[in-house]
Chains A and B, each alone.
Chain A
Amino acid sequence: AQKVTQAQTEISVVEKEDVTLDCVYETRDTTYYLFWYKQPPSGELVFLIRRNSFDEQNEISGRYSWNFQKSTSSFNFTITASQVVDSAVYFCALRSPNFGNEKLTFGTGTRLTIIP
């Protein structure tokens, strides 16, 4: 069975601070995909990143960066110089790469509040 744990339920930081959202996963698959989604108050899920399990390179996209550590089954997300617009719920998710078995397993989410 697959499982995604986001231990941080809520985080509040002052604007311009850096913040890291933790994600730990469990799977028996040897290959898999990991995702991060942002859900602003409007409710629509915004795709942020997909990471294949055999690609352990960290990735940076503007103020966002992701740290994938297969050895510890973690896929953490860091926002540098946070902005008020970053306030949202962030979900980490896990999925098998196999066609016909694309069920996404979501973590419980981390509610991030950026204080101006």
Chain B
Amino acid sequence: GAVVSQHPSWVICKSGTSVKIECRSLDFQATTMFWYRQFPKQSLMLMATSNEGSKATYEQGVEKDKFLINHASLTLSTLTVTSAHPEDSSFYICSVRGGTVAYEQYFGPGTRLTVT
């Protein structure tokens, strides 16, 4: 399966600032990546589907102007949380869609964001 990395693994920022999270597919060219969000002790919720070279598709209720997604290459997608607030504190996980028949998703290790 694909090896996926995320950077940073954790970040603390002040309210009102913007934070960029990177998701890299290290050994696979990923035309599609996914961004999930997980609040403490809760399930993973899909935020958006990131397609290389085109605009991301956001799930209902996710503010696209607040969570900017850029998928400029086949190995990198970025999620920028703009004007972060404490309620944006969460665990953000990306995944890469694989090329098998089952279109498996391979997950990154996650990024823990804390907004103070």
Residues of A within 8 A of B (CB): 33, 37, 42-45, 47, 50, 52, 91, 97, 99, 102-104, 106-109, 111
User: Is there an interface contact between B46 and A43, defined as CB atoms closer than 8 Å?
Assistant: no
Interchain pairs with CB closer than 8 A, number: 49
Which residues from chain B contact A111 at a C-beta distance below 8 Å?
41
Q: Considering the chains assembled together, what is the distance between the CA atoms of A104 and B94 in angstroms?
A: 12
Given the contacts A50-B102, A50-B104, A102-B103, A91 and B109 also touching, CB distance less than 8 Å: no
Min C-beta distance of A107 to chain B, whole Å: 6
Which residues from chain A contact B44 at a C-beta distance below 8 Å?
45, 91, 104, 106
Q: Considering the chains assembled together, what is the distance between the CA atoms of A102 and B32 in angstroms?
A: 10
User: Is there an interface contact between B103 and A108, defined as CB atoms closer than 8 Å?
Assistant: no
Given the contacts A107-B43, A109-B43, A102 and B105 also touching, CB distance less than 8 Å: yes
Which residues from chain B contact A106 at a C-beta distance below 8 Å?
43-45
Q: Does B24 contact A (CB under 8 A)?
A: no
In B34-65, which residues have CB < 8 Å from any A CB? Answer: 34, 41-46, 49
In B59-104, which residues have CB < 8 Å from any A CB? Answer: 91, 93, 97, 102-104
User: Is there an interface contact between A108 and B104, defined as CB atoms closer than 8 Å?
Assistant: no
Which residues from chain B contact A99 at a C-beta distance below 8 Å?
103
Interface residue count on the B side (C-beta < 8 Å): 23
**Contact pick for A97, options B93, B102, B109, CB 8 Å:** B102
11 A–B contacts, CB within 8 A, in A order? A33-B102, A37-B107, A50-B102, A91-B43, A91-B44, A99-B103, A102-B97, A104-B46, A106-B43, A109-B43, A111-B41
Q: Considering the chains assembled together, what is the distance between the CA atoms of A111 and B91 in angstroms?
A: 17
Which residues from chain B contact A43 at a C-beta distance below 8 Å?
91, 93, 109-110, 112
User: Is there an interface contact between A42 and B109, defined as CB atoms closer than 8 Å?
Assistant: yes
Q: Considering the chains assembled together, what is the distance between the CA atoms of A88 and B93 in angstroms?
A: 17
Q: Considering the chains assembled together, what is the distance between the CA atoms of A61 and B104 in angstroms?
A: 19
Which residues from chain B contact A37 at a C-beta distance below 8 Å?
107
**Contact pick for A108, options B43, B49, B108, B112, CB 8 Å:** B43
Given the contacts A33-B102, A50-B102, A99-B103, A44 and B110 also touching, CB distance less than 8 Å: yes
Q: Considering the chains assembled together, what is the distance between the CA atoms of A104 and B112 in angstroms?
A: 21
Min C-beta distance of A51 to chain B, whole Å: 10
